[in-house]
Structure 1
Amino acid sequence: MNATDYTSGFLLGLSLILAIGSQNAFVLKQGIKREHIFFICLFCAISDALLISAGVAGFGAVTARYPHAVDIARFAGALFLLVYGLQSLYASVRRSHALTVDGQAVTSLKKALLLCFGFTWLNPHVYLDTLVLVGMVSTGASSKLAFGVGAVSASFFFFFALGYAARLLRPLFSKPKAWNILDGLVGILMLYLAWHLYNS
């Protein structure tokens, strides 16, 4: 395997995924709660792997030819983020909210994966990053396989590192007010991203 192309793919994949977004915020929160984190990280990484593989295989050209597919995803994603953002803001102020780490109401695996699905597959930027950008850059690699494997490796590394490193913040979130603040910040972030998607 071409080490140079692998490294280039890894660095590109890592640089695209480092930005704080709705998916990363969700993984971070699940990591702090230690709730279904392995399956959440695995779902995110496999989703990225599928999209990156499609991009390297040449589907970026298809996306560029049918831009309306991206527009549909953009509006659906904005609506999803709006609803989740409002729910997070409500959770940050309602009195019945389970605040302590050990007392957090456990979300079912099915619900957690459905939320993760929305944050991942209803985000049009993920298609632009993986199908289009990674796909286009991969055309300059002497080994598209090595480049693609590098980009996929970056996703697995990042999501599992983010999910499991989040537990280091667990002592902070043993304080009841910390969960209110986190929910409030997540809600504001989601509303901002919804507005940004709608106007982009």
Structure 2
Amino acid sequence: MLAAALTGFLTGGSLILAIGAQNAFVLRQGLLRAHVLPLCLLCAASDALLISAGVAGFGAVVTLAPELPVVMALAGAVFLTVYGALRLQAAWRGDYALVLDGGSRPLWPTLAAGAAFTWLNPHVYLDTLGLIGAVSTRFPALPDKTAFALGAISASFAFFFSLGYGARLLAPVMSSARAWRWLDLFIGGTMWVLAFELVRAAL
């Protein structure tokens, strides 16, 4: 069981480390020190549900609904395009007085955005329902399969909470409007690149 849990942790960790829209959003909220706990819980719990489904064998859903990946990709691309435009607009305006004072959006809009970054990302289904589900087949025994799932889920919790709360270590660097402008330019550009890749993959 220990080997299965370690394999799950390393598999989940390696998949989640890539820079993506969800990670960039959590990083930004961590820098703002706003709604970090509920946002990290939302992202990690969502991963836990998807990983559990993948290990349980529900990756066959995609086979039953082959059009689902395309629909999710296009919906995700639209969301990423809009959010990227908002970040680029913020960088263009350069008005970061509220941010530098510690201001942020209310809780529920923040969680809604976090949910959209998670559930409208078709790659999360490939990673959890597909790849993690496939690796879990190496452990046919239920105790080992459970340990593998718990290991992968633990990696997700460890990553999001480290990212959200570790972001405050960058606070001294992010104490100027110029630094926030560069961050928003990076996030906006990343969102648009990801949106383009989603559309290209879907079509």
Alpha-carbon distance in 1 for matches of 2:15, 2:63? 19
Normalising by the residue count of structure 1, what TM-score does the alignment of the two structures yield?
0.95
| 1:194 maps onto 2:200 in alignment | no
Q: Counterpart amino acid of 1:154?
A: A
Match of 1:98 in 2: 96
Match of 2:157 in 1: 156
Alpha-carbon distance in 2 for matches of 1:182, 1:25? 9
Match of 1:120 in 2: 118
Q: CA offsets per residue over residues 77-119 of structure 1, 9 Å max, x none?
A: 0000000001100000115x22475424321000100110110
Query: Percent same amino acid at aligned positions?
Result: 53
Q: How far apart are 1:51 and its partner, in Å?
A: 0.3
Range with bigger deviation, 102-111 or 12-21: 102-111
Structure 1 residues 21-100: aligned runs within 5 Å: 21-95=20-94, 97-99=95-97
Contact 1:63 1:132 in 2 (8 A): no
Q: How far apart are 1:61 and its partner, in Å?
A: 1.7
Match of 1:139 in 2: 137
Q: How far apart are 1:67 and its partner, in Å?
A: 2.2
Q: CA offsets per residue over residues 110-166 of structure 1, 9 Å max, x none?
A: 010011011000000000100111111111114110110100000000000111110
Alpha-carbon distance in 2 for matches of 1:31, 1:145? 31
Alpha-carbon distance in 2 for matches of 1:30, 1:146? 31
Contact 1:100 1:175 in 2 (8 A): no
Alpha-carbon distance in 1 for matches of 2:32, 2:178? 15
Q: How many residues align?
A: 198
Q: Counterpart amino acid of 2:129?
A: L
Normalising by the residue count of structure 2, what TM-score does the alignment of the two structures yield?
0.94
Alpha-carbon distance in 1 for matches of 2:125, 2:193? 20
Q: Counterpart amino acid of 1:92?
A: A
Q: How far apart are 1:62 and its partner, in Å?
A: 2.0
Q: Counterpart amino acid of 1:193?
A: L
Contact 1:99 1:180 in 2 (8 A): no
Q: Counterpart amino acid of 1:89?
A: L
Alpha-carbon distance in 1 for matches of 2:166, 2:102? 19
Alpha-carbon distance in 1 for matches of 2:99, 2:81? 26
Range with bigger deviation, 99-108 or 118-127: 99-108
Q: How far apart are 1:70 and its partner, in Å?
A: 1.2
Q: How far apart are 1:36 and its partner, in Å?
A: 0.3
Runs of 4+ aligned residues of structure 1 deviating over 3 Å after TM superposition are 99-102
What is the CA RMSD across the aligned residues, in angstroms? 1.2
